[in-house]
Amino acid sequence: MKIFLDTANLESIKKFNDMGLLDGITTNPSLMSKEKGNPKDAMEEITKIIKGDVSLEVVSTEFSGMIEEGKRLRQYGENVVVKVPMTPDGLKACKSLSSEGIPVNVTLVFSPNQALLAAKSGAKYVSPFIGRLDDIGQDGMNLIQDIKEIFQNYPHLKTEILVASVRHPMHVVEAAKIGADVVTLPPGVLDKMLEHPLTKIGLDNFLKDWEKVKAENPDIKI
């Protein structure tokens, strides 16, 4: 399963990319608004740091505006994927951009029907928002399971399932067990995935024991 970071924060992107963990980036206008500086500079820098796909989102809600913005966003790099909303105009834009060789990520998907239609329109990625479904008392992972089953029934559909609105590490585990293609997560969740109390306890014990060895052998080196 590929891991994308859901952020526009350059410090976080560089941190996790240096660990070799990132296969791509997803952004949106809300994430861009949280960062200082010119969003254009941030988008340009992100596409240089990350070799994998970088989803940059249009802000227009009508077809012609999406096409214009999508083509402009694509100029930031060959790894740019244009993100459009799951609306009639969004699907129309998806079909048009995809037919020109511009990959598209259809976002704000909340049902299997929407995912199927996005795939039919030529989307490279479909982004179901599981956390927001959990927030209203539904089980977001059921949506991932349904989409996975549908896509497996029709191998000609090459659309990848990009699990979005991830709230905690177990969302990642559950998505991986189902077989989602991609999970995009905020830096805080990826930080939590790195941690386990037994790892810290084990490391502390190793270092404590090594100090004893050094006390008895002052000149020892590894």
Break the chain into its structural domains and give their ranges: 2-187
- pTM equals 0.93
Q: Which residue from 143, 182, 177 is spatially nearest to 160, judged by alpha carbons?
A: 182
The model's pLDDT over 161-192, given as tens digits with 9 standing for 90+, comes to: 999 999 999 999 999 999 999 999 999 999 99
The stretch 29-58 carries a mean pLDDT of 94
**186-200 per-residue burial string, b: 16 or more CB within 10 A, e: under 16:** bbebbeeeeeeeeee
The model's pLDDT over 65-117, given as tens digits with 9 standing for 90+, comes to: 999 999 999 999 999 999 999 999 999 999 999 999 999 999 999 999 999 99
Q: For the structural domain made of 2-187, what CATH number should be given?
A: 3.20.20.70
Given 83, 120, 192, 221, the catalytic residue: 83
The stretch 53-59 carries a mean pLDDT of 97
Alpha-carbon gap, residue 64 to 205, rounded angstroms: 62
How many CA atoms are closer than 13 Å to the CA of 3, on its beta-carbon side? 20
Percent of the chain with pLDDT over 90: 95
The model's pLDDT over 13-28, given as tens digits with 9 standing for 90+, comes to: 999 999 999 999 999 9
Which tokens sit at 218? 């002052």
Which tokens sit at 58? 């249009």
Alpha-carbon gap, residue 197 to 165, rounded angstroms: 26
Mean predicted lDDT score pLDDT of the chain: 96
Residue 15 is a catalytic residue? no
At residue 219, the pLDDT reads 87
38: left (phi over 0), alpha (psi -120 to 50) or beta: beta
At residue 2, the pLDDT reads 98
Amino acid at 164: A
Query: Which three-class secondary structure state does DSSP give residue 4?
Result: strand
DSSP secondary structure code for residue 164 in this structure: B
Alpha-carbon gap, residue 60 to 129, rounded angstroms: 20
Percent of the chain with pLDDT over 70: 100
Q: Which residue from 20, 22, 29, 30 is spatially nearest to 4, judged by alpha carbons?
A: 22
